[in-house]
Amino acid sequence: MAATLTDSHCHLNFDHLRNNISQVLQNARESGVGHMLCVGVTIEKLPEVMALAHEYPNIFASVGVHPDEQNGHDPAVDELVQLADDTRVVAIGETGLDYYRIKGDMTWQQERFRRHIRAALVTRKPLVIHTREAAADTIRLMREEGAESVGGVMHCFTENWETARSALDMGFYISFSGIVTFRNAEPLRNVAAKVPADRLLIETDAPYLAPVPYRGKTNEPAFVRYVAEELAKLRGVSFEELAHSTTTNFFALFQNAHPVDSKQA
């Protein structure tokens, strides 16, 4: 099958996938997935992300610390900039705010997010932003730190149209995961139908959030096909058009990522 799809957000270094990486990548090829962005969530595990990106030409890397991470190393701006100074790194993140899992004074999380935005501004590499039950503060900090000058993606988007519109107005892309296939996701599908075609991305967030019909199973890049099929259906376009546009959008956003021939993947 021709490789036309791109998984814009996955965690291939997590044990569920890394321990079976050859089969995972073969499954991706057979499902038409040509490229993947392996997203960093801790500094401690970043070498695993980088190793995958350097071994496989169709896997790209990002550098960041997830907002939920409380115990690991919390890098300064200069360190993030230094870590991102690698040809395989195409983005800064995963970063952002998450008020769902952690409660209390979130100043530390906000300050970490600010540092990631500042590192993106220095490196001129776009942001991969996570937000959960923190939309207002996420948008506010993006505006205060000038994130619109570097752009990025709101990954695994689950917020309302107002939040999407605010991010779009700052030049950001909106990415949808397998959640859009869930039975109770009608409000999210309504948002997904409105996002401009040239700002739409698809992802798995593997190994999490497997789409229907694999919900509850270990997710993998091959399953991004089901996200694409759902979005094509609700937007009234062909699967081929949706696949082509989202892959085009991926390389328009992550300009340090360069497509490779499927035979090299």
pLDDT, position 3: 62
Across the range 142-156, mean pLDDT stands at 98
- Give the fold, CATH level 3, of 5-253: TIM Barrel (3.20.20)
Q: Where are the domains of the chain?
A: 5-253
54 pLDDT exceeds 80? yes
Across the range 172-199, mean pLDDT stands at 98
pLDDT, position 2: 65
156 pLDDT exceeds 80? yes
pLDDT, position 1: 57
Crossing angle of helices 135-144 and 161-169, in 10° steps, is 10
pLDDT, position 101: 85
Across the range 218-237, mean pLDDT stands at 98
Under 8 Å CB-to-CB from 145, ≥6 apart: which residues?
114, 117, 118, 121
Predicted confidence band of residue 263 (pLDDT cuts 50, 70, 90): low
pLDDT, position 261: 81
pLDDT, position 170: 98
pTM for the whole structure? 0.97
Predicted confidence band of residue 265 (pLDDT cuts 50, 70, 90): low
55 pLDDT exceeds 70? yes
149 pLDDT exceeds 80? yes
Residue recorded with tokens 């009608």:
186
C-alpha–C-alpha distance, residues 141 and 96, integer Å: 9
215 pLDDT exceeds 90? yes
Across the range 190-196, mean pLDDT stands at 98
Tell me the pLDDT tens digit for each residue of 70-82: 999 999 999 999 9
Across the range 24-40, mean pLDDT stands at 98
Percent of the chain with pLDDT over 90: 95
Across the range 23-39, mean pLDDT stands at 98
Under 8 Å CB-to-CB from 186, ≥6 apart: which residues?
none
